[in-house]
Amino acid sequence: MNIIEVKNLTYTYPDGTLAVDNISFSVRENQTLCIIGPNGAGKTTLLLCLVGVLRYRGEIKIFGETLNYKNGGDIRKNIGFLFQNPDDQLFMPTVFEDVAFAAKEFKYKEEDVEKLTNEALKKVGLEGYKNRLSHHLSYGEKKKVALASSLVLNPKILILDEPTSNFDPATRREFIELIKSLICTKIIATHDLDMVEKIADSVILINNGKKLKEAKPSEILDDKELLTQNRLI
Amino acid sequence: MKHSFFDKYSYLDTPIHRIRPEIKMIFFLIFTSFVIIFEKKHFIFYILSFVGVFLISLISKVPFNFLIKKIITILPFVFLVAICNFFSKSKNISTALYTFLNSSLVVFLLILLVETTKFYELLSVLKKFRVPKILIILLSFIYRYFFVLIDEIEKTLYSIKLRSPKKYPNKKSLANIVGMLFIKSFERAERIYYAMIIRGFSARDEHN
């Protein structure tokens, strides 16, 4: 069953730059889709369109419902989003406040907020970090807290923007395992081909806002010429 | 980068730190109101108040020289207020002196309040006092992103130093730095706003 269907998605920045150019694809339940492409290919813009924060042209259906500005809030309740830079995502003073933010905004009861926050922190291995200050954490810890804040409402869809960038090798390995262990539909924008090989069910290659190829990971990763042309190796 | 955080003593464990934040906040508000309403007070009041400040700093283990350093950065503004008061009101030196003493006293206490209470506890007190949520979010953003902004400035200055023989950037570079910081802040603000929307934030709700 497809839980995300994207048809002819186009997004143009206010300065006229065409960032996403007529892209269509679909994602099945519990599938892991990796969107790969060089810097500036339009990956982040595409992800922001998928959660309805940018005013795109085309159609996005999530859980069979067309995403628009009226139902965006309700649909986003089931979507977790991890930003590339955790400083963009962690805006509250303490780890607890940050992770609990979505649960509070969606008006969960106080005891449920506490329970969900503790569970999310446990999932990323940061129990005991509740009262720590977000800006005192290391980059890896910040990224884990950011992931916990995306997981707090147990989303059915998880969208990750460059989840492994700027990690040391061990933390990167742990983070990949962590992502792999999460059971939900995942859309990951990255140019970490090693991670793609480990966790992707299917891959979309984009460049200059256009979808160039959609295939199984091995089919794209083995095409060295295609990867070279698109500055991925 | 690691900064000297302005509330670096707020995590100590002393009798002053253990006082409930609500009580500290109420005391601060009452004291400030008293200082503002009764403009001119007996000199003994100031001596006792400053001795009080010294004692609080002693018990709370917030070094007095740290307090002095902090107040020195604010002193020029306090001095400016006193000077403005001198020229705008009676042109009486004692009025300016009282303004200076009153402002310094309040600033001393404010620093002590911040240094003896965790920032998120202060925010939760404001929440209990029914301060509008949007204002609390704004305060938490200032606290959270102040250090990020300092990081950005530091990185930019390092980058200039590494490519320039001069110790400090010239006026033109400085103007460019300020411009770039503005753009970076704007872009970051936009990304943060997206992050908030994705997590269910609705600006309309926050005004209620």
Name the burial class of residue A49, with classes exposed (0-12), middle (13-18) and buried (19+) by CB atoms within 10 angstroms of its CB.
buried
**Cα separations in angstroms, A130 against A71, A95, A149:** 32, 5, 12
pLDDT in tens, A95-153: 998 899 889 888 899 999 999 999 999 999 999 999 888 878 888 999 999 999 999 99
Work out the average pLDDT over B89-93: 69
C-alpha separations of B176 from B23, B51, B146, B167 in Å: 46, 47, 20, 17
pLDDT the model gives residue A59: 95
A11 alpha-carbon distance from chain centroid: 18
* DSSP letter assigned to residue A219: H
Kindly state whether B119 is in contact with chain A, defined as any CB-CB distance less than 8 angstroms: yes
**Are A123 and A179 within 8 A, CB to CB?**
no
Q: How far apart are alpha carbons B6 and A90 in whole angstroms?
A: 20
Token reading at B139: 């305060």
CA angle A84, A89, A93 (to 5 degrees): 140
How far apart CA A20 and CA A56 sit, in angstroms, is 9
Which pLDDT value is given to residue A36? 96
Task: Please state, rounded to an integer, the average pLDDT across all residues of chain B.
Answer: 82
CA–CA distance, A105 with B200 (Å, rounded to integer):
5
Q: Does B6 contact chain A (CB < 8 Å)? A: no
**Inter-chain residue contact A97 with B119, CB threshold 8 Å:** no
ipTM above 0.85 for this complex: no
Least confident of A66-70, B72-76, B165-169: B165-169
- Output the pLDDT for position B140: 86
- Using the Cβ of B64 and the Cβ atoms of chain A, whether some distance falls under 8 Å is answered with no
Backbone angles phi, psi at A137, to 5 degrees: -85, 160
State both tokens at A90: 């962690």
Nearest CA-CA partner of B67 in B116, B26, B30: B116
Question: Hey, is the C-beta of B122 within 8 angstroms of any chain A C-beta?
Answer: no
Tokens of A233: 């190796």
Burial letters A215-230, b for 16+ CB under 10 A, else e: eebeebbeeeebbeeb
Q: What is the pLDDT of residues A144-180, one digit of tens each?
A: 999 999 999 999 999 999 999 989 999 999 999 999 9
pLDDT recorded at residue B208: 43
- With a cut of 90, say whether residue A220 has pLDDT above it: yes
Q: How confident is the model at residue B138 (pLDDT cuts 50, 70, 90)?
A: confident
* pTM for the predicted model, two decimal places: 0.77
- The residue of chain B nearest to residue A53, with distances taken between CA atoms, is B194
A 33-92 near B (Cβ less than 8 A) = 48, 51, 53, 72-73, 76-77, 79, 81, 83, 85, 87-92
Dist. CA B182–CA A64, nearest whole Å: 41
